[in-house]
Structure formats: C-alpha cells, structure tokens
Structure 1
Amino acid sequence: MSSLSGTEERVSMPLLNEPAPDFEAQSTHGPIKLSDYRGKYVVLFSHPGDFTPVCTTEIGGFAKYQEEFEKRNAQLIGLSVDSVPAHWAWIRDIERIFDVKINFPLIADLDLKVSRLYGMIHPAASNTSTIRAVYIIDDKGILRAVIYYPMSAGRNIPEILRVIDSLQTTDTTGYTTPADWQPGDPVIVPVTPTSGAIENEEEAKAKGLDYKSWYLRFKDDGRHS
C-alpha cells in the first residue's frame, strides 16, 4: 500500500512474474473483476485523462488493433480516474474521429483504488492523473511485462502486440526472442542446465542451429518448426 514520506508519496509497484493484483472496478461494461479474465491474456493500460489529445489517439489506436489482440486471446482494459459518463462521452467522440468501434471496457477509477494498486500514480509526473502504463498479464494471472511512457509520447500499439507474441512464443517453445524480433524471425535457443552450451559451429549445424557463440544460438521460429 502507498505510504507518505515527507511531501512525496511512495509508489507501490507490482512485480514481474508474480500474480497480478486482483481488483473489482466499475467500467463502461459494468462491474468487472480481473480474475474473471483468467484463461486470457490481459492488457491493462492507463491513460492520464479523457478528452486529452495523446490519449485520444491511443484509444483510437487500440480500437484499430482490437482484432489483432483477439487473435492472441488478449483482452484490452483501459483505465483513467474519470467517471463512466465521461468515458462514454469520450468514446463516442473517439469513434467519430477515427471511425472505429471501441468494444473493450474503460475502468472509471475515481477512488484511485486500481491506480494505486498498480503504481500508476507518480507524483513527480502528476498528482491527479495516471501515467501512461501498460501491464501485460498472462492467461494464468501472472504479470509478465510492464511498459511506462512519458505523458508526451503516445504508445506504439504494434510493439505491445509484439511483446505478447514474444511471451507466447516463449511459453509455447521455451525459446527466447532477440532485439527487433517479429513473428517468423529466428528465435534464440537459451543456454540452460538441460540444453547445455554448444562449443563449436559444426555441432550447432548438426542440430539445425545458427551458431554465433557458445551462448548465442539461433534457430527458425519454433512455432513453425
């Protein structure tokens, strides 16, 4: 729980690879509970406020990619400290501006309960608004990734999809993904106690691997092998 220290407020942060804090909240889809989405990936994202320009483009962007999130069994959930009526008025304007349909819920976190639970209030950035944050929670309810953005920079929605693709590839195959990886690109065969290190290029080639060093071996995307 958050505590005060002088004039600053300490922010409690959920930790990666631990269960995501459960919550119940009012939203544009009525009362929702995080644990009700177990079995799906959840992308929980906060925005500083309704009827603000950068946030408007982001909600429109998430709406544009809704089908892509659905293909990955991922549920979008937005959040700000505004009310449900304000959310609905804003949604109608966003749908008009971008010619999209917003089918995911927006949480009305008026009491800051969820915002504080997830460390979305950063006093140095704003005392009254949530920062731009993205929390990727897997189908078992485990927090797998957190991404923060400054107030001035809108999010890159394809990058959030890419992170989900990477996590799901690792969950399915055990392989990890390199910088700038996209689905279909080669993946990394991690060095583990069971896999061991491959010390020479000939041995790697015999196993169908692209050998760069004893600790860096690539192979074709495991989902397509």
Structure 2
Amino acid sequence: MNIIEIKNLYHRFSDGNQALDNISLNVDKGEFVIIAGANGSGKTTLLRHLNALILPQKGIVSIAGISTAKDPVRARQIAGMVFQDADSQIVGETVYDDVAFGPENLKLDRSKIRKRVSDALKAVNLTEFADKQPFMLSGGEKRRVAIAGILAMKSKILIFDEPFSNLDYPGVKQVLRHIILLHKSGHTIILTTHDLEKVLAHADRLVIMKSGKIVRNGAPESVIKGVDIFGIREPYASRQGMSLTSWLE
C-alpha cells in the first residue's frame, strides 16, 4: 500500500535551475528508503516536497492520500522531517518544551501533551533529559530531540536529511540505532545520506538521483554497483563483492 505517491513532479528555482525534473516515485507503508546523490542532485528539494515545505509547481505529491497542495498542514503532521542542522529545528528552552511544541500547536489538552512528550522521549531514550537545555546537548542528542518532536506529532512517516552529518562516531551510532528501532516499530523511513556504508544494509530500497532526476531505483543489492559514476562513493564491502547482510556482522 502506497503511503507516498509522487507523479510527474517538477521544481525550478527562481534562478532558473531545474531542481526536480519529472520525478515519479511511490513508497509503501513501512518501507525504509534511502535517497542518495551528489550535492545538487535534488535530494533535499524532494524531501521538502514530502514535508510540504515546498509545494508542487507542476505534478502531484500525495501523503497518505492527502495532496500536499490542498492540505499542507495535515500532510506535514503525517510526514515529519528532521533537518540536517538540528539546531535550526530546536525552539524550546528545555527538551520537554521543545518536544511539546508541536502537540501544543494542535491545541491538545495538557494531559495528552504530557503523554505524547513522555512517550516520545522514552522512544529515543531521553526521558532523563526533559529539563535540560537543548543547546547544551551533543549533536547526536539534539538529533534525537528533533526525532522526539516528530514522534510527539504522531507522524507516520519520518524523513531524515543527512542525519549523520557532523556527528562523531558515538553520535552516529545513537541516531542510527533509533532510526532502525523506529522502522521496526512500523514507521516509514525516508533518508538521504552521503555515507551509504553506515545504513544501506538496513534499507529496503535505494534511490539514486542526478541532476534532478531519478536514475536508479530498486533493491540496494541491484542498485549499488557502480554508483561512483553518479558522484556517490560505493561502499568498500560492495566493491569487494560482499552481500549486504554481511555488512551487519
């Protein structure tokens, strides 16, 4: 069952650059999809359409049957996005306040807000951080706060734009572990990354973009070979002919 449907999507920036060129893509409910490509390939622009931060100039984007053009607010509640710069997404003075921001804007009663925040912080293992100031946290912890904010909105689709960017190794492990757990709990995951080595073995599908177009789309094993021609570093294990399951060992 498709939870995301994109049909003939185009987007041109004000400077004339064609960012998206006739993109069509469907994503099934519960699927884990990685979108990869060199800088300027259109990855982030596509993600922002999924979260209704950019509305289609031409074409259709549907989130759980809802047109982003017709109801962007509802689409944004279903598809939550964690930005590459976690600091830009933090608005609360405490971790609790930040995670509560979305539910408060939905005008929920206080008891429901407390329950949503409690559940979200527990899901990302930040319960003990509720009273801390977000900007005092590590990079990995900030990303988890951002994830908690999306979970508190009851988003079915979680969108991550370069979630491992600027994180040290412990931070990468923290964030990746929680993304995998969220996928296993039934969330649909859409993720862009420059570093396929870390996450590809966990994905159901790999989509490669170049110059605003989808140039490859399929099971990671069938798509990954030779991706260097698209400005993406092919993981060492793949170049050595190892299976994806062996990457998990």
Please give the TM-score of this superposition, normalised by the length of structure 2.
0.28
Please give the TM-score of this superposition, normalised by the length of structure 1.
0.29
More helix per residue = 2
Higher CA-based Rg: 1
